[in-house]
Amino acid sequence: MAIEHIVIVGGGTAGWMAAAALSRIRDGRNLKITLIESEQIGTVGVGEATIPPFVEFNQALEIDEREMLSATQGTFKLGIQFSNWGQVGESYIHPFGNYGYDLGGINFHQVWHALRQRGDKRPLQAFNLETMAAYFGRFSRTQDYNRDDLPPMNYAYHIDATRYAGFLRQYAEKRGVVRQEGRVDDVSLHAESGFVKSVTLQSGQTIEGDFFVDCSGFRGLLIEQALETGYEEWTHLLPCDRAVALPCNRDDGSPPPPFTKATAHAAGWQWQVPLQHRNGNGHVYCSEFMSDDEAHDILVKNLAGKPTAEPNFLRFVTGRRKKFWNKNVVSIGLASGFMEPLESTSIHLINTGVNKLIALLSLDGVNEAQISTYNRITRKEYERIRDFLVLHYNATRRNDSPFWDHVRTMEVPDTLTEKVEIFKANGQVLREEDELFTTTSWAAVMMGQGISMVGNSPMADNVATQMAGEVDEMEKSIRWLVERMPGHGQYVQKYGPAP
Residues 199-218 that bind ligand FAD (CB under 6 A): 215-217
* CB of 123 vs ligand FAD, minimal distance in Å: 28
Using alpha carbons only, how large is the chain's radius of gyration in Å? Answer: 23
Decide whether 49 or 366 has the Cβ nearer to ligand FAD: 49
Q: Kindly tell me which residue out of 6, 7, 15, 457 binds ligand FAD, with binding defined by CB under 6 A.
A: 15
* CB of 55 vs ligand FAD, minimal distance in Å: 13
Please check whether residue 335 is in contact with residue 325, taking contact to mean a CB–CB distance below 8 angstroms: no
Decide whether 44 or 412 has the Cβ nearer to ligand FAD: 44
Which segment (291-299, 339-347, 438-446, 488-496) binds ligand FAD by CB under 6 A? 339-347
Annotated binding residue 47:
no
Q: Which amino acid is at 73?
A: Q
Q: Is 319 in the site for ligand FAD (CB under 6 A)?
A: no
Is residue 356 annotated as part of the catalytic site, yes or no? no
List all residues 6 or more positions away from 79 whose beta carbon is below 8 Å from its beta carbon: 93, 94, 95, 96, 130, 131, 134, 259, 260
Q: Is 35 in the site for ligand FAD (CB under 6 A)?
A: no
- Closest by CA to 426, choosing from 440, 412, 443, 414, is 443
Decide whether 193 or 206 has the Cβ nearer to ligand FAD: 206
* CB of 253 vs ligand FAD, minimal distance in Å: 25
Decide whether 56 or 473 has the Cβ nearer to ligand FAD: 56
Annotated binding residue 343:
yes
Annotated binding residue 235:
no
* CB of 285 vs ligand FAD, minimal distance in Å: 10
Other Cβ atoms closer than 10 A to 99: 25
Q: Kindly tell me which residue out of 1, 2, 4, 42 binds ligand FAD, with binding defined by CB under 6 A.
A: 42
Please check whether residue 260 is in contact with residue 94, taking contact to mean a CB–CB distance below 8 angstroms: no
Q: Is 48 in the site for ligand FAD (CB under 6 A)?
A: yes
Q: Is 222 in the site for ligand FAD (CB under 6 A)?
A: no
The 3-state DSSP class for residue 190 equals coil
The secondary structure of 1-58 as a DSSP string is ----EEEEE--SHHHHHHHHHHHTTTTTS--EEEEEE-TTT-------B--THHHHHH
Other Cβ atoms closer than 10 A to 490: 14
Q: Kindly tell me which residue out of 6, 7, 8, 11 binds ligand FAD, with binding defined by CB under 6 A.
A: 11
Query: Which H or E run includes 272?
Result: strand 268-274
Residues 384-443 that bind ligand FAD (CB under 6 A): none
Decide whether 313 or 480 has the Cβ nearer to ligand FAD: 313
CA 431 to chain centre: 19
In DSSP terms, 427 is beta-bridged to none
* CB of 485 vs ligand FAD, minimal distance in Å: 25
Q: 417-424 long-range CB contacts below 8 Å, 24 or more apart?
A: 419/387, 419/391, 420/391, 420/395, 420/446, 420/451, 423/451, 423/453, 424/451, 424/452, 424/453, 424/454
Q: Kindly tell me which residue out of 23, 34, 38, 229 binds ligand FAD, with binding defined by CB under 6 A.
A: 38
Q: Is 156 in the site for ligand FAD (CB under 6 A)?
A: no
- Closest by CA to 377, choosing from 352, 412, 402, 400, is 352
Q: Is 10 in the site for ligand FAD (CB under 6 A)?
A: yes
* CB of 331 vs ligand FAD, minimal distance in Å: 9
Using alpha carbons only, what angle is made at residue 399 by residues 396 and 402, rounded to the nearest 5 degrees? 105
Distance between CA atoms of residues 188 and 417, nearest Å = 45
Other Cβ atoms closer than 10 A to 317: 13
The secondary structure of 139-179 as a DSSP string is ---GGGGT-TTSPPPP-EEE--HHHHHHHHHHHHHHTTPEE
Which segment (34-42, 131-139, 287-295, 425-433) binds ligand FAD by CB under 6 A? 34-42
Decide whether 53 or 486 has the Cβ nearer to ligand FAD: 53
Distance between CA atoms of residues 385 and 391, nearest Å = 10
Annotated binding residue 11:
yes
The 3-state DSSP class for residue 326 equals strand
* CB of 273 vs ligand FAD, minimal distance in Å: 6
The 3-state DSSP class for residue 484 equals helix
Q: Kindly tell me which residue out of 142, 346, 370, 440 binds ligand FAD, with binding defined by CB under 6 A.
A: 346
Q: Kindly tell me which residue out of 341, 427, 448, 489 binds ligand FAD, with binding defined by CB under 6 A.
A: 341
Q: Is 221 in the site for ligand FAD (CB under 6 A)?
A: yes
The 3-state DSSP class for residue 117 equals helix
- Residue in 77, 261, 356, 419 annotated catalytic: 77
Q: How many residues bind ligand FAD (CB under 6 A)?
A: 41
Using alpha carbons only, what angle is made at residue 101 by residues 100 and 104, rounded to the nearest 5 degrees? 130
Residues 232-271 that bind ligand FAD (CB under 6 A): 243, 245
Annotated binding residue 14:
yes
* CB of 137 vs ligand FAD, minimal distance in Å: 21
CA 291 to chain centre: 27
- Closest by CA to 46, choosing from 224, 165, 156, is 165
| Residue set of the binding site for L-tryptophan | 343
State the catalytic residues.
Answer: 77
| Residue set of the binding site | 11-14, 77, 184, 334, 343, 347
Q: Which residues bind ligand FAD (CB under 6 A)?
A: 9-15, 36-38, 41-44, 46-50, 161, 183-184, 215-217, 219, 221, 243, 245, 282, 284, 314, 316, 333-335, 341, 344, 346-347, 350
| Residue set of the binding site for FAD | 11-14, 184, 334, 347
| Residue set of the binding site for 7-chloro-L-tryptophan | 77
